[in-house]
Structure 1
Amino acid sequence: MHWLFTGRLSVDKLTVKIAELPPRLQGLKLVQLSDFHYDGLRLSEELLAEAIAATNEAEPDLILLTGDYVTDDPTPIHQLAFRLKHLQSRYGIYAVLGNHDIHYSHSKAEVTKALTNIGVHVLWNEIAYPLGQDLPIVGLADYWSKEFNPTPVMQQLNTATPRIVLSHNPDTAKILEQWRVDLQLSGHTHGGHIVLPGIGPVVYHYKKLLKQVPKKLRRWVPFLLGDCSKVVRYWEWAQGYHQVSQNQLYVNRGLGTYRPGRLFCPPEVTLITLC
């Protein structure tokens, strides 16, 4: 998609405090990338190259990918993987899948194999330890899949152990409230696409206004972004940092862009420093 509809790439930086973070991991640098939707339409080659360059320039210790590498047809994953193999990090690249990566019956296997072939560790209800036993990386199945079941995964961890959780859909933060989640990284929402400065994503406020319209008249109310209720429930978590009970959630705005485009909601590479 042309940059006029997408906006310039933004490298967003934040520092996240994690209780009981081992001293050796103080200052650890993470980069999160999400929602590529690499299909020849929603992500330009120029923007992808810029995101990869920005990631490598940050010299991250760990790269974390939070899903939706393709849109519907999984075939473009092979071309995307060819580009993502240029990503560089000290402790590797870990990923989860999104709802678009499991669109067809064969999508999950094809996307997983393509990423695995370039050295990306795809987690599906799994725990990995690239940083050691004292800061595990938890990767959950997509929320809309039949295999989303965090209970047996989270119960494997001691409550005293800090952890980072990768989960494509930020709605899962509500379910994960019952466990310790020092940092959840999600995507899926594209930041809401249309954002008003000082107000936030239009889609969040639109839902509240729509409730004031009689049900018989609602179908006559135009809405450029489609049926937002089918994307997520908690649009207040559409982008950025959020405290969810005792847990921390960060939602990346993604790289891919759907119509009508982005407004004050640029595609994002996230650089996170732990302390």
Structure 2
Amino acid sequence: MKYNILRKLIRRLIVFTILLLICSILLFYYSRNIEPKLLDVNQFVIESKSVSNELDGFKIVQFSDTHLGSDYSLSQLQGLVENINDQNPDLIVFTGDLIDNSALYKERNEITPILKQLKATYGKYGIYGNHDVGGAGKTVYSQVLTNADFTILENASKTIQLEDNHEFSIIGLDDYLLGKPNPTNAFYKINKNAFSLLLVHEPDIANRLNEYPIDLQLSGHSHGGQVKLPFHKAIYTPPLATKYTEGLYDIQKSLKPMKLYVNRGIGTTRLPVRFFSQPELSVFTLRSLK
């Protein structure tokens, strides 16, 4: 009798072990080969008193953290460009980390023709992320994006003119981990009454910028953690992306009613896996509260 019970227990243990092994293999395959190739296109409406009637309905598309390299290919980038163009954007912004390691990446000359296909009525803008400053330095990133008709905002701003002399401002800050950010220079001569869009790679910087007139900050860097447990926050996010890890936030005690959006990014870094943190494309439609 005891022998039969023992045999049953051993059989159940073996079955459980086999099932656990199969589940582990399936989960690894999914996180390594399936989820990193998905694309979550998220649509948001941003309402603000700073949005003029002429700016109402203006569409901004944000992509971030492609980390081109062995785990994110040029063919995947081509597919991303097509998805972005399908949104018919008025403005396209890239919030940093184009190549995972530009010092080792050999296909840099093939990036520009792909990014040049991106079309937006009021232009394309980019900022530096920590991987763009590291590696081979800023030179590779700046050449690739500039040749692809992007304007790089390094502690600088650009005023975009709309009909009837209405305008809005785009401000870009240098990377906070490896660069030399200077918000004083970046916000110099900004029209405080116009809609102000800030691009900065690291999201947690939002709390350091309360004295500046910002309506919407767009950031990346966090990757949404890349790996999350179900119904749980990210297991790990990098420095300066620990408070704001993904999604839309209202920033308190700011000069203007300010929103922050943290994009989960497209590629991966360190580990070539994503789990409950799909690659993301963010689409923002501006609406007037007047």
Deviation for aligned residue 1:155: 3.9
Which residue is 1:217 aligned to? none
Give the number of aligned pairs: 247
- 2:279 is equivalent to residue 267 of structure 1: yes
SS where residue 186 of structure 2 aligns?
helix
- 2:175 is equivalent to residue 142 of structure 1: yes
Name the amino acid aligned to 2:185. Answer: P
- Judged with a 3 Å threshold, the aligned counterparts in structure 2 of structure 1 residues 193 and 73 are, in CA distance, closer, same or farther, namely same
- Judged with a 3 Å threshold, the aligned counterparts in structure 2 of structure 1 residues 56 and 94 are, in CA distance, closer, same or farther, namely same
Deviation for aligned residue 1:150: 0.6
The answer to whether the 8 Å contact 1:33/1:269 transfers is yes
Which residue is 2:42 aligned to? 12
Deviation for aligned residue 1:152: 2.6
Which of 159, 176, 194 pairs up with 2:192?
A: 159
Which of 204, 212, 216 pairs up with 1:183?
A: 216
Where structure 2 has 5 or more consecutive residues not aligned to the other structure, the ranges are 1-30
Q: Give the fraction of aligned pairs with identical amino acids, expressed as a percent.
A: 32
Deviation for aligned residue 1:158: 3.4
In 2: Cα distance, 1:141 partner to 1:122 partner: 10
In 2: Cα distance, 1:47 partner to 1:2 partner: 15
Which residue is 1:117 aligned to? 147
- Judged with a 3 Å threshold, the aligned counterparts in structure 2 of structure 1 residues 15 and 3 are, in CA distance, closer, same or farther, namely farther
In 2: Cα distance, 1:171 partner to 1:126 partner: 20
Deviation for aligned residue 1:271: 1.0
Name the amino acid aligned to 1:149. Answer: N
In 2: Cα distance, 1:7 partner to 1:23 partner: 38
- Judged with a 3 Å threshold, the aligned counterparts in structure 2 of structure 1 residues 60 and 142 are, in CA distance, closer, same or farther, namely same
- 2:120 is equivalent to residue 86 of structure 1: no
The answer to whether the 8 Å contact 1:171/1:233 transfers is yes
- 2:235 is equivalent to residue 237 of structure 1: no
Where structure 1 has 5 or more consecutive residues not aligned to the other structure, the ranges are 204-227
The answer to whether the 8 Å contact 2:38/2:279 transfers is yes
- 2:114 is equivalent to residue 102 of structure 1: no
Which residue is 1:129 aligned to? 159
Which of 32, 38, 57 pairs up with 1:27?
A: 57
The answer to whether the 8 Å contact 1:31/1:60 transfers is yes
Deviation by residue 1:3-58 (Cα, 9 ceiling, x = unmatched): 3251511111111112221111101111101001112x231344323221111111
Deviation for aligned residue 1:146: 4.5
Name the amino acid aligned to 2:77. Answer: L
In 1: Cα distance, 2:225 partner to 2:216 partner: 21
Which residue is 2:68 aligned to? 38
Query: Which piece of structure 1 moves more, 71-80 or 239-248?
Result: 71-80
Name the amino acid aligned to 2:242. Answer: W
TM-score, normalization by structure 2: 0.79
SS where residue 132 of structure 2 aligns?
helix
Deviation for aligned residue 1:145: 3.4
Give the RMSD, CA atoms, in angstroms: 2.0
Deviation for aligned residue 1:176: 1.2
Deviation by residue 1:165-199 (Cα, 9 ceiling, x = unmatched): 00011121111122221000100111111123433
Name the amino acid aligned to 1:242. Answer: Y
